[in-house]
Chains A and B, each alone.
Chain A
Amino acid sequence: MTTDARRPPPRRLFGTWGRRELQGLFWQVLVVGIAVAVVGFLWSNTVTNLSARRITTGFAFLGREAGMPIADSLLAYNPRDTYLWAFIVGVANTLRVAVIGIVLATILGTLIGISRLSANWLLSRLAAVYVETLRDIPLLLQLLFWYVLMQALPAARAAWRPFEGVFLSNRGLILPAIPVGTPQLWMLGTAVLGLVVFYAIRRWLIAQQMRDGRPRVTWPFAVGLILALPATVSVLLGVSWTIEWPQLRGFNFVGGLTLAPEYFALLIALVTYTSAFIAEIVRSGIQSVPRGQWDAANALGLRRSFMLRQIILPQALRVIVPPMTSQYLNLTKNSSLAVAIGYQDVVSIANTTLNQTGQAIEAIALIMAVFLTISLSISFFMNWYNARIALVER
């Protein structure tokens, strides 16, 4: 080694800063500068345009009377309510489609995904055709197709009656229903509470079992908390469980639960379309479990249901959950296609608001806020679930 190695490094312009840091700073300043300039340009144009068109900004319009009709809604609404309330009704309608759609699409998709793996050649082929066809046709086209079919159904008087009390006509699907009042809600509340308490007790018992190895019985708690407790409440409050059967009076139905054609078409389209994607996710999840796991479980002589529940499914879920999250998000975002057939979800109502008031920025900001909130909630929950089931390595 020569003395060169001990010489201090050459002085640089910015002390210990190297060329790379300087370059980095340059690029960041450049990109942020461009972004700020573009946003500023758009902002100043918008302000000029808004004042030229005499549109006031802000959310004050939300307090005004909406005056728009909403045909089908979960919450009570009349046209004299405020824009804010109309908007909340729209959010409720979006959630009504999304939540029920997610549940149904998961069930249908799982069934089809398992069918594709069936030993029965015909069943697996049919499932494959279902998946390929639905995946390769735009959702909007499918939605319009279902809507046209709904409208082509017979009128209320000639409605199809596949089962007693179920009517399918161009007024939508009408089902028998149990009217829900306060006592029923109390009962439902007790059942949910019972479920939570049971879950806590079960966890505690399993922890006990982990300590001393003696198995504990959990089912009496389940029966007591989830069945007996709500039943007692139901008897005490005198809840009546009469089913309301829909009846045809004149030109329309009275009583029962009505799923409007728009809602029904949207639900069918979202569920069938998303189920095709879920089927593929479930299939790849099950296939990802190594064959040896099945063989080992068989060799231990485990019952088939136990084997699926305790060995195969937990491993398959690790592969299934992350892509499933994006399908749930997709279904929720796709529910915004409702605007094409006139089901009044949040996008459709915000769009009407926009046309009535000219408050374009606010209306679109509200849509974005709602969907970002829903997306973040779903991914938060699914990430939590994913972390719970993920493989813990060392």
Chain B
Amino acid sequence: MTVIADIPEAPRAARRPQAGNPVLRWLRANLFSSIPNGILTVVLLALLAKGIFSFVQWGITNAVWLTPATDSSACRALRGVGACWAIIPEKYRFILFGTYPFDEQWRPALSVLLFIALFYLSTRRALWRRELVFLWIGVLALISVLMWGGVLGLSFVSQDRWGGLPVTLILATFGLAFGFPLGILVALGRRSKLPAIRSLSVLYVELIRGVPLVSLLFMASVMFPLFMPSGFNIDKLLRAQIAIILFAGAYLAEVIRGGLQAVPRGQYEAADALGLSYWRKNRLIILPQAIRHVIPPLVNTFIAFFKDTSLVLIIGIFDLLTTAKTAIIDPAWQQFSVEVYIFVAAIYFVFCFAMSRYSRSLEATSRR
């Protein structure tokens, strides 16, 4: 990425004679271009050095990396001067997979790898074909088989024992897989010429976007049982999943609507002139262009949405953040929550950062 210079000063900096050692020239142009800038650089360097030094001291030199199993005395002896990373090897299986049966944890682990492979393949432009949809359906079905079991000699594991990273990935991916088509329908509905359909779509989007996700999750956890006929009750995870799909649908609809607005009128007119029906017109001509327009904002919505799945903590679903929070309830390890949060933050960061890098690269290629 290029460094954007402070604009009013840039012309002067550019006119400096280009002589001398390139390293010195770079330093001069970027760090010591003027006296206030030089002072700023020195102050920032001092602060940065202090910050890095105290972090290294706390996180590396004074830290405890391993302890005998279930023994936190070495960590407690530190009294806050160092990090206790030993809690991670102690608890990582619980944080990653929750209460999934210990001997069967290769199944959620494999599911996580499948998810990652699926995301990776979906980012390849060469693979953006109809087959990708079938791939998604296939992989998601495979993951369901792995997680539930009960067939092919795999033992059955009920949903309330699932937890950790697979649950986060399931909530996000299924939310996306169902929210995306829902969003397309609602976006089309919002631009439809039919008043009843348009108003229903507007009502849906504005209601969902106007309230916090927390209240939708409360609704899913408390009110859903009231809505259903008596004796019919579905699992808490599925209820949260439905709330998340409805939520994703409303947000994605607005992004896609932006894309629909960017398709030139002539494209609609041309499609009409060909005598295509409404659905064929949208499927073959309008939507492919509209979605291509909004791929970067779509990826940004995915990132926001991936992070938002962590809110299911509030209704007690065992996603990655909840397992982390539960792992430190254990009195022996209670003081070391910062370490656990850093570990989990790193996992979220890797996923979101990868997506945001990808979105940036897409923007760069689409601008060309």
Q: Which residues of A contact B (CB under 8 A)?
A: 23-24, 27-28, 31-32, 35, 42, 45-46, 48-50, 52, 116-124, 126, 132-133, 135-142, 144-145, 148-149, 152, 286-287, 291, 294-295, 298, 304, 307, 333-334, 336-337, 339-340, 347, 351, 354, 360-361, 364, 367-368, 371-372, 375-376
Contact = CB atoms under 8 A, between A and B. Distances in A.
A139 B207 CA distance: 22
A381 to B, nearest CB: 15
B31 A121 contact: yes
Given A145-B338, A148-B338, A294-B8, A347 B214 contact: yes
Chain B interface secondary structure, helix, strand, loop or mixed?
helix
A144 to B, nearest CB: 6
Nearest to B277: A23
B214 A141 contact: no
B313 A140 contact: yes
A372 B211 CA distance: 6
Contacts of A46: 226-227
B314 interface: yes
Contacts of A286: 7
Interface string B200-243: 10000001011111110011001101111110000000000000
Question: Main SS of the interface on chain A?
Answer: helix
B230 A119 contact: no
Given A31-B200, A140-B313, A340-B314, A49 B230 contact: yes
B44 A122 contact: yes
A45 B308 contact: no
Shortest beta-carbon contacts, A-B, top 3:
A121-B30, A136-B352, A119-B6
Given A137-B349, A295-B11, A364 B194 contact: no
Nearest to B342: A145
Contacts of B209: 375
Nearest to B45: A122
Nearest to A307: B8
A122 B31 contact: yes
A135 B352 contact: yes
Contacts of A24: 193-194
B33 interface: yes
Contacts of B303: 135-136
Contacts of A138: 307-308, 310, 321, 348
Contacts of B213: 333
Contacts of B7: 117, 286, 291, 294
10 contacts: A27-B194, A42-B227, A123-B44, A294-B7, A298-B11, A333-B213, A337-B311, A337-B314, A340-B313, A367-B218
A144 B195 CA distance: 45
B210 A28 contact: no
Contacts of A23: 278
B141 interface: no
Interface centre among B200, B210, B212, B307 (most CB of A within 10 A): B212
A287 B4 CA distance: 9
Interface in B8-53: 8-11, 13, 30-31, 33, 37, 40-41, 44-45, 48
Contact of A361 (B195, B197, B226, B278): B226
B337 interface: yes
B5 interface: yes
Interface residues of B, number: 66
B341 A119 contact: no
B212 A333 contact: yes
B226 A298 contact: no
B364 interface: no
B227 to A, nearest CB: 4
A360 B310 contact: no
B25 to A, nearest CB: 13
Contact of B228 (A45, A136, A371): A45
Contacts of B127: none
Contact of B3 (A50, A121, A294): A121
B338 A364 contact: no
B341 A145 contact: yes
Given A141-B345, A148-B337, A136 B31 contact: no
A339 B212 CA distance: 12
B352 A137 contact: yes
A126 B194 contact: no
B338 A149 contact: yes
Contacts of B353: 132, 136
B215 A28 contact: no
Contacts of A133: 349
Contacts of A368: 207, 210-211, 215
Given A49-B226, A336-B214, A364-B223, A145 B6 contact: no
A77 B345 CA distance: 38
Given A117-B7, A121-B31, A133-B349, 17 more contacts: A28-B194, A28-B196, A48-B229, A119-B5, A119-B37, A124-B4, A132-B353, A135-B356, A137-B348, A138-B310, A148-B341, A337-B311, A339-B314, A360-B226, A364-B215, A364-B222, A368-B207
